[in-house]
């Protein structure tokens, strides 16, 4: 019996549309899928952007021909791994779709921006569930239809007016309730550490589960109300150094100290120590 994504893919192809896959760049399917394509058939979504240094681990968009392709078939058999989602385009030009998502991948004010995980099927599902249909076009842009896994089932939705749209201010999809904020933050921080601090993370693995360790550090950030990206980065990176070396930083807040004063005192202490321990 044909699966829902299989039926959806067949319908899109019968309508003369091109199929594409938006894939989490850290998934093991990335390499076999890219190896089977030439450069015109895929695109790194972080490439040619403000976060181009993360292109090698960031999401990719690639053209599909058939569901029987081994690496794709395996993805469709394991949708619960939250690898991304499927979409259809009017033609095989990926440039428009890449430009659309690059314009939407950074959120927040300059200096405190965060990456928006549009490539995560859970993010897509939440947005489409809460966004009125008249706002779908500015979110989906040139994509004609999408197919994605959510809460144990395959879903699909059609864009009522595919095309090019500027990013509205405020962007309506950023008001979507997110019950998984903590899990997404955890995944983003762990991905950052794997990319930027892999040696320290490898040393940590020898004696502690990095996921449990990171959960404890993020809980500390929540308790101290350190929410800004620079505060989170400082706490996570310094604590990772501390876990694998030695430290004399006095982390605990003093009585009556505000979260901002607490952060400034601790970071100044770290600078006085020469910015390194061990």
Kindly indicate the confidence band of residue 3, based on its pLDDT and cuts at 50, 70 and 90.
Answer: low
In the predicted structure, residue 141 carries a pLDDT above the cut 90? yes
Q: Which of 28-37, 142-151, 191-200 has the lowest mean pLDDT?
A: 191-200
Q: What pLDDT, on a 0 to 100 scale, did the predictor assign at position 179? A: 56
* C-alpha–C-alpha distance, residues 112 and 185, integer Å: 14
Kindly indicate the confidence band of residue 222, based on its pLDDT and cuts at 50, 70 and 90.
Answer: confident
* C-alpha–C-alpha distance, residues 164 and 151, integer Å: 30
Tell me the pTM: 0.66
Kindly indicate the confidence band of residue 2, based on its pLDDT and cuts at 50, 70 and 90.
Answer: very low
Q: CA nearest 9: which of 67, 62, 60?
A: 67
Q: What pLDDT, on a 0 to 100 scale, did the predictor assign at position 207? A: 86
Percentage of residues in the chain having pLDDT higher than 70: 95
Domain ranges of the chain: 4-175, 181-272
Percentage of residues in the chain having pLDDT higher than 90: 59
* C-alpha–C-alpha distance, residues 116 and 153, integer Å: 24
Mean pLDDT of 177-189: 75
Cα first-last separation, the chain: 60
In the predicted structure, residue 254 carries a pLDDT above the cut 70? yes
Mean pLDDT of 157-178: 90
Question: Do residues 58 and 46 touch, judged by C-beta distance below 8 A?
Answer: yes
How are beta strands 84-89 and 18-23 bridged, if at all?
antiparallel
Of 107 and 124, the structure prediction assigns the larger pLDDT to 124
* C-alpha–C-alpha distance, residues 61 and 93, integer Å: 11
In the predicted structure, residue 44 carries a pLDDT above the cut 90? yes
Q: What pLDDT, on a 0 to 100 scale, did the predictor assign at position 1? A: 32
Mean pLDDT of 129-142: 95
3-state secondary structure of 65: coil
What average pLDDT is seen over the chain? 89
Q: What pLDDT, on a 0 to 100 scale, did the predictor assign at position 111? A: 63
Q: What pLDDT, on a 0 to 100 scale, did the predictor assign at position 180? A: 61
Give 48-96 pLDDT, tens digit per residue: 888 888 888 899 999 998 878 999 999 999 999 999 999 999 999 899 9
* C-alpha–C-alpha distance, residues 26 and 32, integer Å: 13
| Nearby residues of 49 by Cβ (< 8 Å), 6 or more positions away | 102, 105
Greatest mean pLDDT among 3-12, 133-142, 177-186 lies in 133-142
């Amino acid at each position: 019996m044909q699966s829902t994504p299989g039926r959806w893919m067949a319908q899109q192809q019968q309508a003369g549309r091109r199929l594409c896959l938006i894939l989490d760049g850290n998934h093991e399917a990335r390499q076999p899928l890219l190896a089977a394509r030439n450069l015109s058939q895929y695109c790194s979504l972080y490439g040619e952007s403000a976060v181009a240094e993360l292109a090698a681990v960031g999401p990719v968009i690639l053209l599909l021909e058939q569901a029987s392709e081994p690496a794709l078939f395996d993805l469709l058999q394991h949708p619960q791994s939250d690898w991304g989602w499927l979409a259809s385009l009017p033609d095989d030009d990926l440039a428009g779709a890449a430009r659309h998502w690059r314009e939407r991948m950074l959120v927040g004010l300059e200096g405190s921006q965060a990456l928006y995980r549009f490539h995560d099927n859970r993010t897509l599902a939440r947005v489409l569930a809460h966004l009125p249909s008249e706002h779908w076009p500015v979110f989906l842009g040139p994509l004609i239809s999408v197919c994605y896994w959510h809460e144990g089932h395959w879903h699909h939705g059609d864009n009522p007016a595919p095309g090019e749209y500027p990013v509205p201010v405020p962007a309506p999809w950023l008001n979507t309730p997110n019950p998984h904020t903590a899990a997404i933050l955890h995944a983003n921080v762990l991905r950052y550490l794997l990319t930027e601090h892999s040696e320290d993370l490898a040393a940590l693995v020898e004696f502690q589960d990095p996921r449990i360790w990171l959960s404890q550090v993020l809980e500390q950030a929540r308790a101290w109300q350190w929410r800004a990206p620079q505060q989170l980065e400082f706490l996570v990176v310094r604590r990772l150094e501390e876990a694998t070396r030695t430290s004399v930083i006095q982390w605990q807040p003093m009585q009556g100290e505000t979260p901002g004063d607490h952060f400034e005192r601790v970071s100044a202490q770290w600078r006085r120590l020469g910015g390194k321990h061990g």
